[in-house]
Structure 1
Amino acid sequence: MASLATSDICDSNAKHVPTGDLRVLQPIFQCYGHRRAFSGPIVTLKVFEDNVLVRELLETKGEGRVLVVDGGGSTRCALVGGNLGQLAQNNGWAGIVLNGCIRDVDEINGCDVGVRALATNPLKSNKKGTGEKHVSVYIAGALIHDGEWLYADNDGILVSKAELST
Protein backbone atom coordinates (compact mmCIF):
# COMPACT_ATOMS: atom_id res chain seq x y z
CA MET A 1 0.00 0.00 0.00
CA ALA A 2 1.49 3.34 -1.03
CA SER A 3 1.79 5.80 1.80
CA LEU A 4 0.88 9.44 1.70
CA ALA A 5 3.44 11.97 2.94
CA THR A 6 2.58 12.96 6.49
CA SER A 7 3.44 16.62 5.82
CA ASP A 8 1.01 16.67 2.87
CA ILE A 9 -1.66 15.01 5.00
CA CYS A 10 -1.21 17.66 7.69
CA ASP A 11 -1.38 20.48 5.14
CA SER A 12 -4.52 19.24 3.42
CA ASN A 13 -6.28 18.14 6.62
CA ALA A 14 -5.25 20.93 9.00
CA LYS A 15 -8.86 21.55 10.05
CA HIS A 16 -9.04 18.02 11.49
CA VAL A 17 -6.13 18.48 13.91
CA PRO A 18 -7.96 20.75 16.41
CA THR A 19 -10.99 18.41 16.41
CA GLY A 20 -8.84 15.35 17.15
CA ASP A 21 -9.93 13.57 13.97
CA LEU A 22 -6.25 13.77 12.93
CA ARG A 23 -3.58 13.42 15.62
CA VAL A 24 0.17 13.90 15.39
CA LEU A 25 2.15 11.62 17.67
CA GLN A 26 4.96 13.21 19.64
CA PRO A 27 8.36 12.63 17.97
CA ILE A 28 9.68 10.04 20.42
CA PHE A 29 10.15 7.05 18.11
CA GLN A 30 13.21 5.72 16.32
CA CYS A 31 12.83 4.40 12.78
CA TYR A 32 13.63 0.74 12.00
CA GLY A 33 12.74 -1.78 9.33
CA HIS A 34 13.25 -1.60 5.59
CA ARG A 35 9.97 0.21 4.94
CA ARG A 36 10.48 3.87 5.89
CA ALA A 37 6.93 4.95 5.01
CA PHE A 38 3.84 2.89 5.75
CA SER A 39 0.15 3.22 6.48
CA GLY A 40 -2.86 1.11 7.23
CA PRO A 41 -5.72 0.34 9.59
CA ILE A 42 -4.67 0.04 13.23
CA VAL A 43 -4.80 -3.03 15.45
CA THR A 44 -4.12 -2.11 19.08
CA LEU A 45 -2.49 -4.08 21.85
CA LYS A 46 -1.59 -3.23 25.44
CA VAL A 47 1.13 -5.28 27.16
CA PHE A 48 3.92 -4.76 29.66
CA GLU A 49 7.28 -6.50 29.26
CA ASP A 50 5.51 -9.54 27.76
CA ASN A 51 5.35 -10.20 24.02
CA VAL A 52 3.19 -13.35 23.79
CA LEU A 53 0.19 -11.38 22.48
CA VAL A 54 2.43 -9.46 20.07
CA ARG A 55 3.44 -12.77 18.49
CA GLU A 56 -0.17 -14.01 18.46
CA LEU A 57 -1.32 -10.99 16.47
CA LEU A 58 1.66 -11.02 14.09
CA GLU A 59 0.93 -14.69 13.35
CA THR A 60 -2.40 -13.61 11.83
CA LYS A 61 -2.80 -12.21 8.33
CA GLY A 62 -1.77 -8.56 8.46
CA GLU A 63 -3.57 -7.49 5.27
CA GLY A 64 -1.67 -4.18 5.28
CA ARG A 65 -2.59 -3.31 8.85
CA VAL A 66 -0.39 -1.61 11.45
CA LEU A 67 0.09 -3.11 14.91
CA VAL A 68 0.19 -0.38 17.56
CA VAL A 69 1.57 -1.74 20.83
CA ASP A 70 1.43 0.16 24.09
CA GLY A 71 4.27 -1.47 25.96
CA GLY A 72 3.94 1.00 28.81
CA GLY A 73 7.02 2.85 27.61
CA SER A 74 9.26 0.25 29.21
CA THR A 75 12.86 0.24 28.05
CA ARG A 76 13.85 -2.68 30.30
CA CYS A 77 13.38 -5.36 27.63
CA ALA A 78 12.46 -5.80 23.96
CA LEU A 79 8.96 -6.71 22.81
CA VAL A 80 9.86 -7.29 19.15
CA GLY A 81 12.95 -8.96 17.71
CA GLY A 82 14.12 -10.27 14.36
CA ASN A 83 11.84 -13.32 14.37
CA LEU A 84 8.74 -11.19 14.94
CA GLY A 85 9.90 -8.70 12.32
CA GLN A 86 10.16 -11.55 9.81
CA LEU A 87 6.76 -12.86 10.90
CA ALA A 88 5.21 -9.42 10.36
CA GLN A 89 6.73 -9.24 6.87
CA ASN A 90 5.69 -12.78 5.92
CA ASN A 91 2.10 -12.25 7.08
CA GLY A 92 1.60 -8.93 5.29
CA TRP A 93 1.69 -6.40 8.11
CA ALA A 94 2.54 -2.88 6.93
CA GLY A 95 4.17 -1.83 10.19
CA ILE A 96 4.54 -1.90 13.94
CA VAL A 97 4.52 1.11 16.24
CA LEU A 98 5.86 0.13 19.63
CA ASN A 99 5.77 2.17 22.82
CA GLY A 100 8.66 0.03 24.00
CA CYS A 101 11.88 -1.50 22.69
CA ILE A 102 13.04 -3.81 19.93
CA ARG A 103 16.13 -5.98 19.56
CA ASP A 104 17.90 -7.67 16.63
CA VAL A 105 18.04 -4.30 14.87
CA ASP A 106 20.03 -5.55 11.87
CA GLU A 107 17.51 -8.35 11.28
CA ILE A 108 14.54 -5.98 11.62
CA ASN A 109 16.18 -3.48 9.27
CA GLY A 110 16.30 -6.25 6.66
CA CYS A 111 12.55 -6.91 6.91
CA ASP A 112 10.11 -5.27 4.50
CA VAL A 113 8.02 -3.79 7.28
CA GLY A 114 8.02 -0.40 8.97
CA VAL A 115 8.90 -0.34 12.66
CA ARG A 116 8.88 2.56 15.09
CA ALA A 117 10.07 2.00 18.66
CA LEU A 118 11.44 4.00 21.56
CA ALA A 119 14.86 2.33 21.60
CA THR A 120 16.68 -0.98 21.52
CA ASN A 121 17.43 -3.44 24.31
CA PRO A 122 19.04 -6.88 23.88
CA LEU A 123 17.04 -8.46 26.72
CA LYS A 124 13.99 -10.50 25.66
CA SER A 125 10.61 -10.02 27.30
CA ASN A 126 8.59 -12.24 29.62
CA LYS A 127 6.32 -14.94 28.16
CA LYS A 128 3.26 -14.95 30.42
CA GLY A 129 0.61 -14.02 27.86
CA THR A 130 -0.80 -11.05 29.75
CA GLY A 131 -2.25 -7.99 28.08
CA GLU A 132 -5.27 -6.72 26.17
CA LYS A 133 -6.09 -6.80 22.46
CA HIS A 134 -8.20 -4.27 20.54
CA VAL A 135 -8.34 -1.68 23.33
CA SER A 136 -7.77 2.07 23.18
CA VAL A 137 -4.18 3.00 24.02
CA TYR A 138 -2.55 6.31 24.92
CA ILE A 139 0.83 6.67 23.22
CA ALA A 140 3.02 9.69 22.45
CA GLY A 141 0.37 12.19 23.54
CA ALA A 142 -2.50 10.67 21.57
CA LEU A 143 -5.40 8.35 22.30
CA ILE A 144 -5.44 5.66 19.61
CA HIS A 145 -8.39 3.38 18.89
CA ASP A 146 -8.47 -0.01 17.18
CA GLY A 147 -9.65 0.42 13.58
CA GLU A 148 -8.34 3.97 13.07
CA TRP A 149 -5.71 4.68 10.40
CA LEU A 150 -1.99 5.28 10.89
CA TYR A 151 0.36 7.07 8.50
CA ALA A 152 4.11 7.06 9.14
CA ASP A 153 7.14 8.35 7.28
CA ASN A 154 10.45 10.04 8.09
CA ASP A 155 8.61 13.21 9.17
CA GLY A 156 6.45 11.55 11.81
CA ILE A 157 3.38 9.51 12.66
CA LEU A 158 -0.26 10.50 12.23
CA VAL A 159 -3.43 8.81 13.43
CA SER A 160 -6.74 9.50 11.69
CA LYS A 161 -10.27 8.46 12.57
CA ALA A 162 -10.77 7.49 8.91
CA GLU A 163 -8.73 6.57 5.86
CA LEU A 164 -7.39 9.66 4.09
CA SER A 165 -6.84 10.24 0.38
CA THR A 166 -4.69 13.39 0.71
Structure 2
Amino acid sequence: MTESELIERFAALPVANVGDAMDRLNVVDSGIQSVWPSAGVRMAGRAVPVTVAGGDNLGIHEVIPTLEPGDVLVVNGQGATHRALIGELIAGRSMARGCVGFVLDASVRDAVDLEQMRFPVFARGTTPAGPYRNGPFQAEVAAAVGTVVVNPGDLVLGDDDGVAVVPWSRAAEVLLKAEAKHAAEMKQRAEIGF
Protein backbone atom coordinates (compact mmCIF):
# COMPACT_ATOMS: atom_id res chain seq x y z
CA MET A 1 0.00 0.00 0.00
CA THR A 2 1.36 3.42 -0.92
CA GLU A 3 1.63 6.27 1.57
CA SER A 4 -1.15 8.18 -0.17
CA GLU A 5 -3.46 5.14 -0.06
CA LEU A 6 -2.75 4.68 3.64
CA ILE A 7 -3.49 8.34 4.40
CA GLU A 8 -6.68 8.19 2.30
CA ARG A 9 -7.91 5.18 4.26
CA PHE A 10 -7.14 6.88 7.58
CA ALA A 11 -8.95 10.02 6.39
CA ALA A 12 -12.15 8.00 5.95
CA LEU A 13 -12.16 6.92 9.62
CA PRO A 14 -13.41 8.75 12.70
CA VAL A 15 -10.50 9.91 14.85
CA ALA A 16 -12.17 8.21 17.82
CA ASN A 17 -11.80 4.81 16.12
CA VAL A 18 -8.13 5.51 15.42
CA GLY A 19 -7.59 6.44 19.07
CA ASP A 20 -9.34 3.24 20.16
CA ALA A 21 -7.03 1.25 17.87
CA MET A 22 -4.03 2.71 19.76
CA ASP A 23 -5.41 1.64 23.16
CA ARG A 24 -6.77 5.20 23.49
CA LEU A 25 -3.25 6.61 23.62
CA ASN A 26 -1.74 9.25 21.31
CA VAL A 27 -4.93 11.29 21.36
CA VAL A 28 -4.24 15.01 21.78
CA ASP A 29 -5.91 16.52 24.85
CA SER A 30 -9.37 17.97 24.43
CA GLY A 31 -8.15 21.53 24.98
CA ILE A 32 -6.95 21.48 21.37
CA GLN A 33 -9.98 21.55 19.08
CA SER A 34 -11.02 22.71 15.63
CA VAL A 35 -11.27 26.50 15.51
CA TRP A 36 -14.00 26.42 12.85
CA PRO A 37 -17.27 27.81 14.21
CA SER A 38 -19.27 24.97 12.60
CA ALA A 39 -18.79 21.25 12.17
CA GLY A 40 -17.34 19.28 9.29
CA VAL A 41 -13.56 19.49 9.65
CA ARG A 42 -11.43 16.54 8.47
CA MET A 43 -7.65 16.36 8.21
CA ALA A 44 -5.08 13.64 7.54
CA GLY A 45 -1.41 14.07 6.67
CA ARG A 46 2.25 13.78 7.61
CA ALA A 47 3.58 15.70 10.60
CA VAL A 48 6.05 18.54 10.25
CA PRO A 49 6.73 19.49 13.89
CA VAL A 50 8.15 22.78 15.12
CA THR A 51 8.62 24.09 18.66
CA VAL A 52 8.42 27.84 19.21
CA ALA A 53 8.63 30.20 22.15
CA GLY A 54 5.22 31.06 23.62
CA GLY A 55 3.59 33.81 21.56
CA ASP A 56 6.31 33.79 18.89
CA ASN A 57 5.95 32.50 15.31
CA LEU A 58 9.42 32.97 13.78
CA GLY A 59 9.79 29.19 13.51
CA ILE A 60 6.50 28.88 11.64
CA HIS A 61 7.64 31.45 9.07
CA GLU A 62 10.92 29.56 8.65
CA VAL A 63 9.22 26.17 8.19
CA ILE A 64 6.46 27.17 5.75
CA PRO A 65 8.79 27.29 2.69
CA THR A 66 9.75 23.65 3.39
CA LEU A 67 6.17 22.31 3.48
CA GLU A 68 5.20 19.73 0.88
CA PRO A 69 1.82 18.46 -0.34
CA GLY A 70 0.14 16.34 2.34
CA ASP A 71 1.99 17.89 5.27
CA VAL A 72 0.38 18.94 8.55
CA LEU A 73 2.24 21.65 10.47
CA VAL A 74 2.31 20.69 14.15
CA VAL A 75 3.36 23.50 16.51
CA ASN A 76 4.39 23.21 20.14
CA GLY A 77 3.59 26.78 21.17
CA GLN A 78 4.15 26.02 24.86
CA GLY A 79 0.38 26.11 25.42
CA ALA A 80 0.51 29.91 25.41
CA THR A 81 -2.81 31.46 24.46
CA HIS A 82 -2.06 35.18 24.82
CA ARG A 83 -0.89 35.57 21.18
CA ALA A 84 -2.17 34.05 17.93
CA LEU A 85 0.62 32.22 16.11
CA ILE A 86 -1.17 31.99 12.76
CA GLY A 87 -4.04 33.52 10.85
CA GLU A 88 -5.51 33.35 7.36
CA LEU A 89 -2.41 34.76 5.61
CA ILE A 90 -0.05 32.10 6.98
CA ALA A 91 -2.72 29.48 6.32
CA GLY A 92 -3.07 30.69 2.73
CA ARG A 93 0.67 30.48 2.11
CA SER A 94 0.73 26.98 3.59
CA MET A 95 -2.26 25.84 1.52
CA ALA A 96 -0.48 27.06 -1.60
CA ARG A 97 2.36 24.66 -0.77
CA GLY A 98 -0.08 21.74 -0.36
CA CYS A 99 -0.22 21.74 3.44
CA VAL A 100 -3.48 20.09 4.59
CA GLY A 101 -3.81 21.57 8.09
CA PHE A 102 -2.32 22.83 11.33
CA VAL A 103 -2.31 21.59 14.91
CA LEU A 104 -1.11 24.17 17.44
CA ASP A 105 -0.64 23.97 21.19
CA ALA A 106 -1.30 27.70 21.16
CA SER A 107 -3.88 30.21 19.92
CA VAL A 108 -4.76 31.34 16.41
CA ARG A 109 -6.90 34.05 14.86
CA ASP A 110 -9.18 34.52 11.84
CA ALA A 111 -11.26 31.41 12.66
CA VAL A 112 -14.11 32.32 10.31
CA ASP A 113 -11.68 32.98 7.46
CA LEU A 114 -10.00 29.63 8.08
CA GLU A 115 -13.35 27.87 7.82
CA GLN A 116 -14.26 29.77 4.64
CA MET A 117 -10.91 28.65 3.21
CA ARG A 118 -11.79 25.07 4.32
CA PHE A 119 -8.36 24.89 5.95
CA PRO A 120 -8.37 22.62 9.03
CA VAL A 121 -6.81 24.24 12.08
CA PHE A 122 -6.82 22.76 15.57
CA ALA A 123 -5.66 24.99 18.41
CA ARG A 124 -5.95 25.68 22.13
CA GLY A 125 -7.89 28.89 21.53
CA THR A 126 -8.37 32.03 19.50
CA THR A 127 -7.31 35.61 20.13
CA PRO A 128 -7.00 38.71 17.95
CA ALA A 129 -3.58 39.50 19.47
CA GLY A 130 -0.78 38.98 16.95
CA PRO A 131 2.52 37.18 17.62
CA TYR A 132 6.09 38.27 18.07
CA ARG A 133 8.74 37.11 15.62
CA ASN A 134 11.97 36.90 17.61
CA GLY A 135 12.57 33.17 18.17
CA PRO A 136 13.96 30.85 19.32
CA PHE A 137 12.55 27.74 17.67
CA GLN A 138 13.39 24.13 16.83
CA ALA A 139 12.33 22.40 13.62
CA GLU A 140 12.67 18.90 12.16
CA VAL A 141 12.71 17.31 15.62
CA ALA A 142 10.00 15.77 17.81
CA ALA A 143 7.59 18.22 19.42
CA ALA A 144 5.06 17.74 22.22
CA VAL A 145 1.53 18.93 21.41
CA GLY A 146 -1.30 18.47 23.86
CA THR A 147 0.68 15.85 25.84
CA VAL A 148 1.47 13.78 22.72
CA VAL A 149 4.96 13.56 21.24
CA VAL A 150 4.87 14.06 17.46
CA ASN A 151 7.81 12.96 15.34
CA PRO A 152 8.51 14.15 11.81
CA GLY A 153 6.52 11.99 9.40
CA ASP A 154 3.99 10.67 11.92
CA LEU A 155 0.38 10.68 10.72
CA VAL A 156 -1.80 13.43 12.15
CA LEU A 157 -5.56 13.01 11.95
CA GLY A 158 -8.27 15.47 12.94
CA ASP A 159 -12.04 15.74 12.90
CA ASP A 160 -14.77 17.43 14.93
CA ASP A 161 -13.83 15.32 17.99
CA GLY A 162 -10.17 16.36 18.00
CA VAL A 163 -6.74 15.09 16.98
CA ALA A 164 -4.85 11.78 17.11
CA VAL A 165 -1.25 11.05 16.15
CA VAL A 166 -0.25 7.70 14.65
CA PRO A 167 3.45 6.87 14.85
CA TRP A 168 4.58 6.12 11.32
CA SER A 169 6.17 2.83 12.42
CA ARG A 170 2.72 1.59 13.56
CA ALA A 171 0.58 3.07 10.79
CA ALA A 172 -0.31 -0.15 8.93
CA GLU A 173 -1.15 -2.02 12.15
CA VAL A 174 -3.23 0.84 13.56
CA LEU A 175 -5.09 1.27 10.27
CA LEU A 176 -6.27 -2.34 10.22
CA LYS A 177 -7.39 -2.18 13.87
CA ALA A 178 -9.18 1.14 13.33
CA GLU A 179 -10.96 -0.13 10.22
CA ALA A 180 -12.09 -3.23 12.13
CA LYS A 181 -13.33 -1.07 15.02
CA HIS A 182 -15.23 1.18 12.62
CA ALA A 183 -16.82 -1.79 10.84
CA ALA A 184 -17.91 -3.28 14.19
CA GLU A 185 -19.46 0.03 15.24
CA MET A 186 -21.30 0.38 11.94
CA LYS A 187 -22.70 -3.14 12.41
CA GLN A 188 -23.88 -2.24 15.92
CA ARG A 189 -25.54 0.92 14.59
CA ALA A 190 -27.38 -1.10 11.96
CA GLU A 191 -28.56 -3.57 14.61
CA ILE A 192 -29.81 -0.71 16.79
CA GLY A 193 -31.52 0.82 13.78
CA PHE A 194 -29.81 4.17 13.21
TM-score of the pair, normalised by structure 2: 0.74
Q: Can you give the 5+ residue segments of structure 1 that lack an aligned partner in the other structure?
A: none
Higher alpha-carbon deviation: 146-155 or 51-60: 51-60
Q: Distance in 1 between matches of 2:118 and 2:112?
A: 12
2:149 maps to 1:143 = yes
- 1:9 aligns with 18
| Residue-by-residue CA offset, 1:96-141 (whole Å, 9 max, x unaligned) | 0000011122222222321001111111111114200022222222
| Residue-by-residue CA offset, 1:13-71 (whole Å, 9 max, x unaligned) | 2xx337xxx51111112313597111111110000121122122223343111111000
- 1:126 aligns with 132
Alignment of 1:32-71 (within 5 A): 32=35, 36-48=41-53, 49-71=55-77
Please identify which structure carries the higher helix content: 2
Q: Can you give the 5+ residue segments of structure 2 that lack an aligned partner in the other structure?
A: 1-6, 180-194
- 1:73 aligns with 79
Please state whether the residue corresponding to 2:91 is helix, strand or coil. helix
Following TM superposition, the consecutive aligned residue runs of length 4 or more in structure 1 with deviations greater than 3 angstroms are 163-166
- 2:28 aligns with 25
Q: Distance in 1 between matches of 2:150 and 2:105?
A: 12
Q: How many residues align?
A: 160
Please identify which structure carries the higher strand content: 1
Q: Which amino acid aligns with 1:86?
A: G
Identity %: 25
Bigger CA radius of gyration: 2
Q: CA deviation at 1:10?
A: 3.5
TM-score of the pair, normalised by structure 1: 0.85
